[in-house]
Copies of this chain bind each other. A is one copy, B any other.
């Protein structure tokens, strides 16, 4: 049997063999979203490629991909930089996100199964637990999951993709916003109302709540951006 192992014991599933440039896209996106690569950082291809353990070609492909998402900006003949975190841009993003989340809330009230809503409720109580314990990072994680879950309940993958793309910008800002206890409590209370509206499948109310929730978050982010700017000035 001189079979050179064509594929009898092919254990690697199709999902496993991810391509290098795809992992690079994810790595680079994480670096940007988590602030390790600060806004307006120049992306030196040689240095970054080495850091990510790859060559320039897949890195450049990843940069183009993220440029379309708006996380990096392309400067002709001068490479690329991490997209700046401009207050004006952030306002725009929140307005669009508001419309997308509102739409998702409305659709979710119509399309969610009872099991879906039970899942959101479970996440909600996890979030409450971390809020009570003062664990901000964990709180953020479940908070984010709740919003994503509602988005998924809407049953519109295109909507979800647009949301995810824009939400990356907001996530970036989160790492520099520090929540006061008062604001934090308020956000948690709003989440209670959101869960309530979803449970009663009151689409109109859920829309309004999500919009308000985002508007309050925008205030937080703007304050953080102003503060950062003030610090940069002195």
A residues with CB within 8 A of B: 14, 17-19, 21-22, 57, 60-62, 64-70, 74, 76-77, 89, 92-93, 95-96, 99-100, 102-103, 107, 156-159, 161-162, 166
Contact = CB atoms under 8 A, between A and B. Distances in A.
Given A76-B17, A162-B166, A156 B68 contact: no
Contacts of A77: 17, 19
Contacts of A61: 60-61, 64
A100 B96 contact: yes
A17 B60 CA distance: 19
Contacts of A161: 70
Given A19-B76, A65-B67, A96-B103, 6 more contacts: A14-B76, A60-B61, A65-B68, A70-B158, A92-B158, A95-B103
A72 to B, nearest CB: 11
